[in-house]
Amino acid sequence: MGDMNGEVVAGGKGQGNRLDQLDQPTNVLIDKETDSLIICDSGNRRVLRWSRRSGTTQGEILIDNIDCWGLSMDDHRYLYISETPIHEVRRYQIGDKNGIIVAGGNGKGTGLNQLSLPTYIFVDQQQNVYVSDWNNHRVMKWNKGAKEG
């Protein structure tokens, strides 16, 4: 059926900020095009790409200085990242350091243009963004290009 034991595929060298370490990873996805893991390394305020090829010993920083929590990728390979402390979700092209706000971005609150601790994200084929708005006890949908959910 399956192995009874897991296998370390990223990190595993203790908590830390070296490229072979993680600190409180909160989310992970697979980039099928590059056969890599994309990891939200929350404690180090960065997003890493970590190849799934055998022999890989460290990750590569895609985005740094980001308070990430949730992570998603659409069919066009845009990354969507929730930043809980600033109550917004941003979209990034791979290689881009400054994403654009696609949800929230109007401070913490309960309004339809606000979020309060956005955590997990799902993006559908039309690039509509679904956000678990943790502190508001709701799930918000933001249509592509919308200014409010």
| Domain at 110, CATH number | 2.120.10.30
Quick one: pLDDT band at residue 2, thresholds 50, 70, 90?
confident
Residue at 132 is within a domain: yes
Domain, as residue range, for 35: 25-142
Residue at 9 is within a domain: no
Residue at 4 is within a domain: no
Contact 48, 31 (CB under 8 A): no
Residue at 13 is within a domain: no
Q: What are phi and psi of 8, to 5 degrees?
A: -70, 125
Residue at 39 is within a domain: yes
Work out the percent of the chain whose per-residue pLDDT is above 90. Answer: 87
Residue at 81 is within a domain: yes
Residue at 53 is within a domain: yes
Which pair of structure tokens corresponds to residue 20?
């072979």
- Average pLDDT over all residues of the chain: 95
Residue at 6 is within a domain: no
Across 78-93, b (16+ Cβ under 10 Å) vs e yields bbbbbbbebbbbbbbe
Contact 38, 59 (CB under 8 A): no
Residues 6+ apart with CB under 8 A from 6: none
Q: What total number of domains does the chain contain? A: 1
What's the whole-model pTM score? 0.93
DSSP structure class, residue 132: E
